[in-house]
Structures are given as C-alpha cells and as structure tokens.
Amino acid sequence: MTTAKPPPSVLVAGSANVDFIVRTPHIPAPGETVLGGDLTVTPGGKGANQAVACARGGGVATAMLLALGDDPFAPLIEASLRDAGVDLRVVRSTRPTGAALICVSDEAENAIAVAPGANATLAPADLTDLAGVAGLVLQFETPMATVTAFAKKARAQGVPVILNAAPAAALPAELRAAIDVLVANEEELVVLAGRDGTIAERLRSLDVPCAVATLGARGCCALADGAYWLQPAFPVAPVDTTGAGDTFCGVLAGALCSGAPLADALRRASAAAALATTRLGAQASAPTAAEIEALLHGRQPDESALAGLAAYCGVTEYNLAGRPAGQLSDPA
Ligand code: RIB
C-alpha cells in the first residue's frame, strides 16, 4: 500500500503580531497628540500577513513557522491563520506575543511601531523540516541570524527562497547568496542599494536572480534573467495600505511556487495588493482568489500609468506583466 504524499506547500517562516490600529486625521508628528477613532485590535505581523495572503489568495497549501507568547494574544493570531487554512508550526516563547502600534491616516498612509517580543526568539534550530516545501518565504521581523540560517538551509536543500526585505535592513552577503526572489519597497530599496541611480539600476545592483520593487500606487518593477517586467497598479480607492506589501508577497510566492510564470505572478500579486488597500487591517484585508480573479478581469491600469511607471523606473525596454515576454516593449 502506498501513502499519498501531501501536496507541496509554501512555508512562511517569520513574524506574527497583534496590531493595535487607530485611525487619525493625520499621522502624529514627534511630540504631537492626535485624537482618532476607536481602537481596532486585529492579527498582523509581516510573516503571518503573508501566510494568510498566500493561503487565501494564492489557493496554495501554506504552512507557517512562528513564535508566539503564552498569553491571550496568541490565540487571536492562531485562529486567523487557521481560518485562512494555514498549517501552523508554533514555537512557544517566554516573551510576549509580538505587537504593533499602527496609526492610519485619512490619506490611507500608516506609521507602525513594532514590539517584536516572541518574534525575536525564533532561532535557527526552529526550522527542522523542509520536506514537501515548494518555497520558503522570509522577512526581517525575526533575527537576521535566523533569517540567514533558514535561507541557507533552504538553499542547501534546493528549496527556493523568497525574501521580503521588510522592515528595511542591509542584506548580509551570505543571505544574498541564498535568495531566489527579493521583494523590497522603495524605502527598503534605498537601504539595500542606496539612493543613486534609477530603480532599474538599483534592482540590477542587488545581484539576485529575481528582484522586485513594489512602488505603491505606481505599481511594481521586476528584474529577472536580465529582463525588466512592469505592472502598473490596479486602480482602486485606498482606505488603508497596511499589509498591502505583505499581500503582494504572499500572493506572489503562492503563484510562483504553483509554477506560474513571473509575469502572471506579478499581475496576481498586484491585483491582490490593490484589493488589500480597500479594507482596514492587514490579514483582514487579504483578498480571496475569487476577488483577485474578478479584479484581473475588471478595470485595468491605463497606458499612461504604464508609461509613467516605465519613466519612473528608468526602463525603456521591458515586458508587461501578464503578457508573454517580448510582446510589449519600448512604447515610445
Ligand atoms: O506590514 C504590516 C505589518 O507590519 C503589520 O501587520 C504590523 O504587525 C507590522 O508587522
């Protein structure tokens, strides 16, 4: 008798927080007090947000390795992950569950302060098994030594590594050497590659097989195998951008690990991230696969958005995400 093997899954190893969110007219300046709306307490953390986005929007089997405290906040996070269909590997810590204080402005911008707590205790030895893992997703809310050790373990076993370089931190050389896909927003790209040069040039300087810059309302730009890929943002009315980058990463990872070409994965991830900005919260705002499909077949970014994105990134020859390579380049 043969035992059926479980389907390959995406493993997210990283952070989970409880998010304490308050909406205010604007983000307080240093020393300023701003009165806002009622407090919302909701599950978050970059790693957990990515796991939920991957499972809910990517339609792919997803597991998460995370460290939680032994306190009343841990069950909130575990329930959210389980409800999304994420298989959990929990390391119980003596430190409190991670927490984030988030201020969301009426312009949908945010400012976040994180108390890592249990996330800071995730250790290299906690990743014991990569059997059946089609891709490992990492972020920078757990110790750099742990992130590096996890990435090296995955590389040694031939498991692709997708790193979201958030929050911004420099990339150790041994970690860079173990990355297959690197995703960074504009601020993170400054820390990774400096301020000099265009987005395109700075992506090239990262020297990883695939580098993706997420550029908020402009869209995203990727460099893989020497070719640039552009995807303008899908037009939506944003309410809260918290977790949009995490949704992008989770859905991108799910698509790539399911075998989707980069072009399709970028387009799905962009649609998912756009949808995530239309709702309050991080995990709560991650869309379902059906919602992503609907947007992919709905209102599309226009040609001027594409031209603007190309100019902003400093690329003249590129492929358009969602179409085969070579179908569209240099619109000038
Ligand atoms: O990226 C958004 C996340 O950053 C929030 O959920 C918060 O917990 C912080 O980790």
**DSSP class of residue 71?**
S
Q: How far apart are CA 15 and CA 138, in angstroms?
A: 9
Ligand 1 close to Cβ of residue 193 (< 6 A): no
Q: What is the CATH number of the domain that holds 65?
A: 3.40.1190.20
If you measure from the C-alpha of residue 193 to the centroid of ligand 1, how many angstroms do you get, rounded to a whole number?
23
Ligand 1 close to Cβ of residue 242 (< 6 A): yes
Nearest CA to ligand 1 atom 6: 44
Could you tell me which residues are beta bridge partners of residue 22? 103
| Whether the Cβ atoms of residue 149 and residue 127 lie closer than 8 Å to each other | yes
What is the CB-side half-sphere exposure of residue 253 using CA atoms within 13 A? 42
Ligand 1 close to Cβ of residue 50 (< 6 A): no
Which residues have a catalytic role annotated?
A: 246
Q: Is the peptide bond before 43 cis (omega within 30 degrees of 0)?
A: no
- 68, 114, 214: which to mutate for ligand 1, most atoms within 8 A of CB? 114
Instruction: Tell me the mean pLDDT in the region 214-230.
Output: 96
Q: Confidence class of residue 227 from pLDDT cuts 50, 70 and 90? A: very high
* Cβ within 8 Å of residue 261, ≥6 positions away: none
Residue 32 lies in a domain: no
Q: Confidence class of residue 1 from pLDDT cuts 50, 70 and 90? A: low
Residue 31 lies in a domain: no
Sign of torsion over alpha carbons 267, 271, 277, 282: negative
First to last CA, the chain: 62
Residue 331 lies in a domain: no
Q: Give per-residue pLDDT as tens, 197-216.
A: 999 999 999 999 999 999 99
Joined together, the tokens standing for residue 59 give 């339609």
* Cβ within 8 Å of residue 242, ≥6 positions away: 19, 21, 44, 102, 104, 110, 112, 280, 281, 282, 285
**Domain count across the chain:** 1
* Nearest-atom index, ligand 1, CA of 99: 8
Residue 72 lies in a domain: yes
User: How much is the pTM?
Assistant: 0.94
Residue 307 lies in a domain: yes
Question: Nearest 5°: phi and psi at 274?
Answer: -60, -45
Residue 222 lies in a domain: yes
Choose between 171 and 58: higher pLDDT: 171
Residue span of the structural domain in which 178 resides: 9-15+45-96+120-313
Ligand 1 close to Cβ of residue 282 (< 6 A): yes
Ligand 1 close to Cβ of residue 45 (< 6 A): yes
